Structure 1
């Protein structure tokens, strides 16, 4: 599977590379970034190397893909990441995940990045359904998905075991016929 570069009016979504190791470490060592994720905050730079390798292996196995989110004029500066995981070709669906450095929260960056990712998923990968699982306390993520047209499908009790405890989740989805190109910046 190939991971293309995706461009929007302000952003470039590009493959994560070894040169991103230090930036990924700084990013994922922030508790604010990993608070609602299924990973602990990084405490060692080797964890960043391992996650890059994990992203590569997921792509090779056609199970997932992850982009670095950057500004067009500063492609070396990592703002966050986004991508697909739990890809199911047989069911024409995938789950999305995303994270953004706190300095860029509330600026529309993630909406722009995910809009590009959704268009790629529906148009190029031929997904019919894209899902997202959200911690019920992560109000910003729920609002983001709603603004992109995702529908709330339900509350899942003790859906995941993360960081030593069971956590609830909200399930959101967006079907191909519900996605509009107007959501792209």
Structure 2
């Protein structure tokens, strides 16, 4: 994945590389406990905290274990969220998808549009067979979002992650290539 960072364009969105200059936009949502709690993160307190997150995006891309796009509206270059893959296992043709969106943009179909584009990218460009989403049982909006995209709930992973001082149960969702009739 050392080539030029890919840009994804949808009807309303441009998904692009996140850079350090985006930190001021990103702190708006990464400091919001309602946005970051389902991610297992503590809210960012400073722009330096956001730089650390951007540094993680850069490292997973360089290592080939993930890719995270900044979500922007076509009429603005302001980053309002992110979406992408982590834990890419090329040998097994699978990856985990994750996303977050500034609360100001919830309920407008933006996360759905970004997720659909990223899933399609994963199948066409990474030749993924399986894409997973791990979602907290209390995060009903995210469960509904992935279910509308065709993901299926496979089961509950008990005490799967230790984040913010506690063990979290997570639902495992997945979508496989044949679910979308892709060739």
In the superposition, the TM-score normalised over structure 1's length comes to 0.94
User: What is the 5 A alignment of 1:112-127?
Assistant: 112-127=113-128
Task: Tell me, in whole angstroms, the C-alpha distance in 2 between the residues paired with 1:180 and 1:97.
Answer: 22
Note the alpha carbon deviations across 1:118-173, whole angstroms, 9 max, x for none. Answer: 11100111000000000000000000000000011001111111100001110000
Which residue of the partner structure matches residue 15 of structure 2?
13
Q: In structure 2, how many angstroms separate the alpha carbons of the residues matched to 1:149 and 1:165? A: 30
Counterpart secondary structure, 1:35: helix
Match of residue 162 from structure 1:
163
Deviation at 1:180, TM superposition (A): 5.3
Runs of 4+ residues over 2 Å off in structure 1 = none
Task: Please name the residue that 1:130 is paired with.
Answer: 131
Aligned length: 180
Which stretch has the larger CA shift, 134-143 or 77-86? 77-86
Q: Which runs of 5+ in 1 are unaligned?
A: none
**SS of residue paired to 1:36:** helix
Contact 2:26–2:80 at 8 Å: present in 1 too?
Answer: no
In 2, the alpha carbon distance for the partners of 1:133 and 1:139 equals: 12
Is the partner of 1:53 in helix, strand or coil? helix
- CA root-mean-square deviation: 1.1
Q: Do residues 48 (structure 1) and 50 (structure 2) align?
A: yes
Per the alignment, residue 86 of structure 2 pairs with: 85
* Residue 23 of structure 1, CA deviation: 1.2
Alpha-carbon distance between aligned partners in 2 of 1:44 and 1:102, rounded to the nearest angstrom: 19
Distance 1:37 1:145, change over 3 A: same
Deviation track 1:2-31 (CA, whole Å, cap 9, x = no partner) reads 430000010000010121011122220111
In the alignment, which residue of structure 1 is the partner of 2:71? 69
- The one-character-per-residue Cα deviations of 1:58-106 (angstroms, maximum 9, x if unpaired) are 10000111010011111x2111101100000000000011001111111
CA distance in structure 1 between the partners assigned to 2:81 and 2:176 by the alignment: 25
Q: What's the secondary structure of 2:155's corresponding residue?
A: strand
Mapped partners of 2:124, 2:12: distance in 1: 21
Instruction: Compute the TM-score of the two structures, normalised by the length of structure 2.
Output: 0.95
